[in-house]
Amino acid sequence: MTQTVGESADARQPGSPPTARVISIVELLAGSDHPSLTLAEIVRHTGFSRATAHAIVGELVDHGWLLREPGSGRYAIGPGFVTLARTARQADHVDRWAAVAAHQLSERFGIAYFVARRVSPDMITVADHVVPAPLADDDTSPWFRHGQRVRLRPPICREFIAFEPEHIRSAWLARAPQATRARLRDVLDVVAQRGYSIERMTDDHVAMVEALSSLDTMSERLRSRVRDLLTELSIIDYLPHEIVGDVAVVTVGTPVRDADGHAVAAIVACPNTTLSAAELTELAEATRSAAAEIAGHLR
Q: What is the pLDDT of residues 246-295, one digit of tens each?
A: 998 989 999 999 989 999 999 999 998 899 999 999 999 999 999 999 99
Sheet holding 36-37, edge to edge: 36-37, 75-77, 66-68
- In words, the CATH class of domain 94-296 is alpha beta
Q: How far is CA 72 from the centre of its chain?
A: 45
Spatial contact of 77 and 29, defined as CB atoms under 8 Å apart: yes
Q: Which of 138, 86, 78, 88 is nearest to 112 (CA)?
A: 138
In whole angstroms, give the CA distance from residue 195 to residue 198. Answer: 10
Per residue in 159-189, pLDDT (tens digit) is: 999 999 999 999 999 998 888 899 999 999 9
Task: Please name the amino acid found at residue 73.
Answer: G
Question: Where does the pLDDT of residue 233 fall: very low under 50, low under 70, confident under 90, or very high at 90 and above?
Answer: very low
Share of the chain above pLDDT 70, in %: 80
Extents of the domains making up the chain = 9-90, 94-296
Per-residue pLDDT, averaged over 127-151, amounts to 73
* pLDDT for 138 beyond 80: no
Q: How far is CA 97 from the centre of its chain?
A: 6
Instruction: Tell me if domain 9-90 and domain 94-296 are identical in fold.
Output: no
Q: Does domain 9-90 have CATH number 1.10.10.60?
A: no
Spatial contact of 75 and 39, defined as CB atoms under 8 Å apart: yes
